[in-house]
Chains A and B, each alone.
Chain A
């Protein structure tokens, strides 16, 4: 009886130890705040990758992975920092998938991730400022920098033959970073930027702003704003006064509601939104459906961020950030066997057998420069009152 009891206790301790040895990944996203409608699908994407790995049993000789959610709030840096601090010191996570918005991501990186030496991969922070932020090699993102979007915008404008453009942007880090990137790229390509001014969101009337834009003139008006707010007001006022007929719509302006709200006036306008024609995207959408959620913006990027963390740990044979931080770029890029969503188990075995992988994933990941996605974009044309995809860049 005593022996049985001892065996039971030892067994319990062993299994307890096994649970304690589980690898932990913190998922820190803005579950409350201005992008709370997007974050559930993003977190589900990351958890889908973790569940897939756990089901395969191939991660570091069968070690399990658990995920812990925390709220970044998207806008409150102090709250986000506190949440990340708790993940690392109290929950003892080995890596962080997040954060989402550029401001809180920078704050967590500088105050928590660097201080504690923990790797973080953001699925959706796009500010160009993060490319040059000091990170001790700990920070990566599966979202492209808006500096890249600026190049894409400039190319699309050039290909459509626009020689001069007026730019207006929503007065925050995202708008300003994107507008400046578009201006410098378009000028470098020989285009003429007639004016580059901010607009405030949440005003009733944008006719005065549009009057100033109209006086500066230009073949096309680039509206780097939000589709449910000032961006829509600017477009409506421009059409009403006949100031501009054609608009360029960056990622913040792409959504089904805009063509519906504006109507025929928007036909012929062009734009872009992150997206890829890689088969991985379609595979991920199917997998998400099977798992019971709808893939949304930055949901594929979240899956990829979690997958990269796991593959890098496997490649380094360690869950210590200092060991696997240098492996993230290796598993993300060529050479190696291409890895699509759903292949994570096979990829882990391949790495365990000493092979090399080139992670493609759901968003065609290719990490460049300081560890950010090279970025592929869908080119959008508004036709017949709908956003249609005309190509990929």
Chain B
């Protein structure tokens, strides 16, 4: 009986918990970038997915160069070594688009919806640029040890029927996400610059009166956003393989995460990421074998015991989004209303 329970736990761990934590971290990092832009610049940056893709692309190009010269990190992917370059180039891209495009609209005091449409334009430009540089095909750049724990090794170790696999990329994703989030919170709550950013976000006029330089706040916001985007994009690419067009599809769950958690609130972005990731997985998972393990005897249900087909995965995040907007429009952690 205990064995059955452990098997059921291993099963859920392998197909829901482990992928959910990794996917949730990726969404959270993406949502943090969206929420930072929203908090300070007050618009929804739809180009964020493509910015992530751009960061991942630069990291991949540097990774290839490093691999060609024989550099590596042993069991860890070489991409981690290339990531700082990806971050710097992506920050440059963010500052460049701000200087060339967004600043013009800021000076004209454009309404948020204008910004939103402008960001859609940036999205299309970036996606074209990425396809121009690296092409539309999927690229392989992960190297090093693929697994922290293999399904078969887990079975042999524990004697259970069900395996539990943890990929290196999943481990790295979670660790990096924790480190980045800790750094970000320290920056926002403890440093002078972070505090000035929060002040600017809370009340722009009061912040200006107390001598905060708005252009500096905007610049730092873009630096943080660019770095977050490069990290999130590279981690997603390491975990699930890099294909340029998948990042456009990623924008939707990222926005859902940011809004569900409370847009403009960094804590909400993280919570929202995990809420969206786990609800997508829990609702579309087939519980056939779990039910089989938890009921006495050898009985296993004939059907899959699946609430929704996996085709509707994306619909789940929108369903949650609608519910949250209806009941608590500010999101779980009370951000700003859109």
Contact = CB atoms under 8 A, between A and B. Distances in A.
A212 B140 contact: no
B306 interface: yes
Contacts of B310: 208-209, 211-212
Given A204-B246, A240-B165, A212 B304 contact: yes
Contact of A242 (B14, B311, B313): B14
A289 interface: no
27 contacts: A198-B311, A202-B243, A203-B246, A204-B241, A204-B249, A204-B250, A207-B15, A207-B19, A208-B281, A208-B285, A209-B310, A211-B15, A211-B16, A212-B285, A212-B286, A212-B309, A215-B285, A215-B288, A216-B288, A233-B241, A236-B241, A240-B165, A241-B15, A241-B163, A242-B14, A242-B152, A242-B155
A217 B300 CA distance: 12
A207 B285 CA distance: 10
A215 B304 contact: yes
Contacts of B184: none
A227 B317 CA distance: 30
A277 interface: no
Binding site secondary structure of chain B = helix
Interface string B41-57: 00000000000000000
B336 interface: no
Nearest to A216: B304
Given A204-B246, A205-B23, 5 more contacts: A204-B249, A208-B281, A214-B15, A233-B241, A241-B14
A195 interface: yes
- Interchain residue pairs A-B with the least CB separation, the first 5: A242-B151, A204-B246, A215-B286, A242-B163, A211-B15
B245 interface: yes
Interface in A224-266: 233, 236, 240-242, 261
B198 interface: no
Nearest to B313: A208
B150 interface: yes
A103 to B, nearest CB: 22
B280 A208 contact: yes
B151 A241 contact: yes
B318 interface: no
A200 interface: yes
Given A208-B281, A212-B306, A216-B304, A242 B150 contact: yes
Given A205-B240, A241-B151, A242-B14, A211 B165 contact: no
Contacts of B155: 242
Nearest to B287: A215
A305 to B, nearest CB: 32
A241 B147 CA distance: 10
Interface string B282-298: 00111111000000000
A235 to B, nearest CB: 12
A204 B243 contact: yes
Given A208-B313, A216-B304, A202 B245 contact: yes
Interface string B1-44: 00000000000001110010001000000000000000000000
B140 A261 contact: yes
A217 B289 contact: yes
Interface residues of A, number: 23
Given A215-B304, A216-B304, A242-B165, A200 B246 contact: no
Contacts of A240: 146-147, 165, 167
Of A195, A208, A212, most buried by chain B (CB within 10 Å of CB) is A208
Chain B, interface size category, equals 35 or more
Nearest to A265: B146
A239 to B, nearest CB: 9
A216 B240 contact: no
Nearest to A242: B151
Interface string A135-174: 0000000000000000000000000000000000000000
Interface string B133-163: 0000000100000110011100100000001
A322 B284 CA distance: 56
Contacts of B236: 204
Contacts of B311: 198, 200
Contact of A204 (B152, B163, B240): B240
Contacts of A208: 280-281, 284-285, 310, 313
A201 B304 CA distance: 23
Contacts of A197: 309
Nearest to A233: B241
Contacts of A261: 140
Contacts of A205: 23, 240, 246
A202 B287 CA distance: 26
Interface string B214-248: 00000000000000000000001000110101100
Nearest to B281: A208
Contacts of A236: 241
Interface in B246-304: 246, 249-250, 280-281, 284-289, 304
A74 B287 CA distance: 41
A264 to B, nearest CB: 11
A233 B23 CA distance: 17
A215 B289 contact: yes
A212 B240 contact: no
A209 B121 CA distance: 33
A203 B147 CA distance: 22
Given A204-B240, A215-B289, A217-B289, A241 B249 contact: no
A164 to B, nearest CB: 13
A212 B241 contact: no
Interface in B297-330: 304, 306, 309-311, 313
A241 B23 CA distance: 15
Nearest to B162: A242
Contact of B286 (A203, A204, A216, A242): A216
A262 B246 CA distance: 20
B33 to A, nearest CB: 18
